[in-house]
């Protein structure tokens, strides 16, 4: 009994000391002045819409709220995170400080996978997670182009992962997931009735895809067209190929 009691007392003392040390370290950490800012940007390979200087401008409000030399008690780290999360090209942001007096900023960039081209308004990008992003005067990403009558309402969405344009999101992802189609399909045209026309990168055929459904089956038919029909007839023999109808390939 005495042995157990001694152990319990010892554990209690250790816990109390640990709590005091943590409280002391936390208080000391808050009183620290920010010595420098360390910025980490993930997903930046060939994706330069946001760089370190942009992050600095966001968290300091373009220098109006200096951070270096300010104590961490005066810095609202959650507010700094929210400033970064307001940037559409950033999918996530984390801001915290360490014992060395550094403000650590970690952000993840969204990657554009398609560009919406409008003739009656500004263009837009579609990111990998379906978010609709503005274009940037700083950097241009070469991606598949989206045009046509539905380009305007598409560019005005917040996301296309759900809702009316969710089938288009699946179509773009299908094209990007296949090396051959990613290299071959240059443009998607959205018609007023919801159907789609594809324009290839190399050959001259207009590809009538129909509605963005049965995607895998339609691309199997298109693959048959490229592998079996064109080599026999010539790469530019046909001006139009239709995949709209079940179990049929119509070439003209």
Taking 70 as the threshold, does the pLDDT of residue 26 lie above it? no
Contact 117, 146 (CB under 8 A): yes
Taking 90 as the threshold, does the pLDDT of residue 69 lie above it? yes
- Name the residue with higher pLDDT: 188 or 228: 188
Q: Do 33-109 and 113-251 agree at the fold level?
A: no
What is residue 11's predicted lDDT score, i.e. its pLDDT?
Answer: 59
Per-residue pLDDT of 234-249, as tens digits, reads: 777 889 999 999 888 8
Q: Cα dist. 115→92, 118, 134 in Å? A: 22, 10, 10
Kindly state the average pLDDT of the residues 137-148. Answer: 93
Q: What percent of the chain has pLDDT over 70?
A: 88
Taking 60 as the threshold, does the pLDDT of residue 62 lie above it? yes
Taking 70 as the threshold, does the pLDDT of residue 3 lie above it? no
- For the ranges 2-11, 177-186, 198-207, the maximum mean pLDDT occurs at 177-186
Kindly state the average pLDDT of the residues 35-41. Answer: 96
pLDDT-based confidence at 77, cuts 50/70/90?
Answer: very high
Domain topology for 113-251: Rossmann fold (3.40.50)
208: Cβ–Cβ under 8 A, 6 or more apart, which residues? 195, 197, 240, 241, 242, 243, 244
What is residue 21's predicted lDDT score, i.e. its pLDDT?
Answer: 47
In whole angstroms, what is the distance from residue 125 CA to residue 161 CA? 13
Kindly state the average pLDDT of the residues 167-196. Answer: 96
Extents of the domains making up the chain: 33-109, 113-251
What is residue 246's predicted lDDT score, i.e. its pLDDT?
Answer: 86
What is residue 138's predicted lDDT score, i.e. its pLDDT?
Answer: 85
What is residue 52's predicted lDDT score, i.e. its pLDDT?
Answer: 94
| Mean of per-residue pLDDT scores for the chain | 88
Kindly state the average pLDDT of the residues 106-122. Answer: 94
Taking 90 as the threshold, does the pLDDT of residue 133 lie above it? yes
Taking 90 as the threshold, does the pLDDT of residue 182 lie above it? yes
Q: Which CATH number fits domain 33-109: 3.20.20.70, 3.30.1490.190, 3.90.870.40, 3.10.20.310?
A: 3.10.20.310
């Amino acid at each position: 009994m005495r042995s157990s009691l001694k152990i319990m007392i010892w554990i209690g003392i250790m816990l109390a000391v640990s709590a005091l040390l943590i409280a002391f370290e936390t208080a000391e950490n808050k009183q620290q002045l920010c010595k420098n800012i360390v910025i980490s940007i993930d997903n930046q390979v060939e994706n330069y819409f946001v760089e370190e200087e942009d992050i600095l401008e966001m968290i300091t409000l373009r220098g109006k709220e200096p951070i270096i030399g300010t104590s961490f008690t005066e810095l609202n780290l959650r507010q700094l995170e929210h400033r970064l999360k307001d940037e559409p090209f950033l999918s996530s942001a984390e801001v915290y400080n360490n014992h060395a007096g550094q403000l650590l900023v970690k952000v993840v960039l969204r990657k554009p996978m398609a560009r919406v081209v409008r003739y009656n308004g500004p263009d837009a990008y579609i990111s990998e997670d379906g978010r609709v992003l503005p274009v940037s005067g700083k950097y241009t990403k070469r991606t598949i182009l989206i045009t046509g009558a539905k380009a305007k309402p598409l560019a005005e969405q917040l996301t296309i992962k759900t809702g009316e344009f969710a089938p288009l999101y699946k179509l773009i992802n299908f094209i990007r997931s296949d090396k051959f189609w990613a290299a071959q399909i240059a443009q998607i045209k959205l018609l007023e009735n919801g159907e789609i026309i594809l324009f290839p990168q190399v050959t001259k055929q207009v590809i009538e895809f129909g509605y963005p459904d049965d995607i895998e089956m339609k691309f199997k038919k298109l693959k048959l067209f490229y592998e079996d029909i064109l080599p026999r007839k010539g790469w530019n023999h046909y001006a139009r190929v239709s995949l709209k109808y079940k179990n049929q390939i119509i070439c003209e």
